[in-house]
Amino acid sequence: MKRTTTWAALAAASLLVLSACGNGADDTDADTDTNGAAEDVTEDDGDDADSADGAGEDPDTLVLGLVPSQDMDKLVEDADMLGDLLSEELGIEVEAVVTESYNALIIAMETGQADIGMFGPIALVQAADRAGAEIVLQSVRFGSPTYHTQWFTNDPDTYCLDDVVEVEQEDGAIFTFCNGTDSADAGPVGEDALALIDGDTLISMVDANSASGYYYPATQLERVAGLDALGLNTQFAGGHPNSILNVAGGDYPVGVSFDDARDNVVEEDPEIGEKVTVFAWSDEIPNDGVAVAGSLSGDLQQRIADAMMAVISTEDGAHAFDEVYSIEDLVPADLDALDAARQVESNFGE
């Protein structure tokens, strides 16, 4: 029987707790306490395979790290399913772990507590630059390797510069849009409305390491409204659905998420698409992707990438990837596009 366990990553004097879905009833994945009493999750298996830098050996268990974009309990269940499918394809046990944030997952890769990470684009380049990870794959959604931030509001009278458009979804829910966001193919869109945001406007953002939930919209406001990207009046909601709920509840007049994260809330609140109206989009952003630990051998890094692409090509695998992150396909990473994300990230310093 699988159960949820916890383990910690210690960095810069702060303890970050991570929630893991273990493969054994009594297993604890790792304990980073300095007394070293517990077994490391990446213990060598005695293989002769050299790591990428020639130091150490490949592990006999791989830890796959994910970050919540939905209800935690549901993500744990879906992550278990994905880990099982990858285990079967690779012939190596893959244990799925749900971390509390992208930063926690980056630290887990830095400290050897995670071998595979699924990250947003900014966190992908941070994992490469800070943890020495190798970026191997990017996600495809709606046939595209890019996406954008959506800006939404509970005050369309202020931020909709034209009529609000109601669009019925496949499930019958009504989603509202304005400023051309109902018909555009790519961002940016609705930037005249973004210019109405000032330094006192309360903004619900997602996570300090989120591309669509912080870096790109903050950069866009700096360009469009002349606001200091590091001085915005924001609160991080901790997840894209939470950001939408912040605005729907009236706590903030505007907020951001990926497009269209309202789908992840509509079951909980069937009227969410009418309570929050999408009024602008950011520039296009490279999709999220997969990084593997640089300490793994080049052969194993490639096998992991091949296994993930093989799994998503199956019916069960396609379902698992869709349930975890709404991913419809995986392609080799576009490192040039990710360099553009690195430039956005560099504007925010440390």
Amino acid at 29: D
Tokens encoding 35: 């007394």
Percent of the chain predicted with pLDDT > 90: 68
Q: Could you count the other beta carbons within 10 Å of the beta carbon of residue 129? A: 13
Q: What is the DSSP letter of 257?
A: E
Query: Residue 6 has what pLDDT?
Result: 30
Q: What is the DSSP letter of 265?
A: T
How far apart are the C-alpha atoms of 250 and 154, rounded to whole Å? 7
| pLDDT digit string, tens, across residues 291-319 | 999 999 999 999 999 999 999 999 999 99
Q: What is the DSSP letter of 40?
A: P
Closest by Cα among 142, 108, 149, 140 to 126: 108
| pLDDT digit string, tens, across residues 27-59 | 322 232 323 322 333 333 434 434 344 445 789
Closest by Cα among 306, 324, 333, 343 to 134: 333
What is the band of 72 on the pLDDT scale with cuts at 50, 70, 90? Answer: low
What is the band of 22 on the pLDDT scale with cuts at 50, 70, 90? Answer: very low
Question: How many residues are recorded in the chain?
Answer: 350
Query: Residue 306 has what pLDDT?
Result: 98
| pLDDT digit string, tens, across residues 112-129 | 999 999 998 889 999 999
Non-local (6+) Cβ contacts of 136 within 8 A are 289, 290, 291, 292, 301, 302, 304, 305, 332, 333
Omega before residue 68 within 30° of 0, cis: no
Which range in 141-145, 210-214, 268-272 is most confidently predicted, on average pLDDT?
Answer: 268-272
How far apart are the C-alpha atoms of 261 and 173, rounded to whole Å? 14
Percent of the chain predicted with pLDDT > 70: 81
**In Å, how far are 187, 208, 242, 244, 252 from 345, measured between CA atoms?**
19, 11, 23, 24, 25
Task: Cite the DSSP H helix spans in 140-292.
Answer: 156-159, 191-194, 216-225, 240-248, 272-275
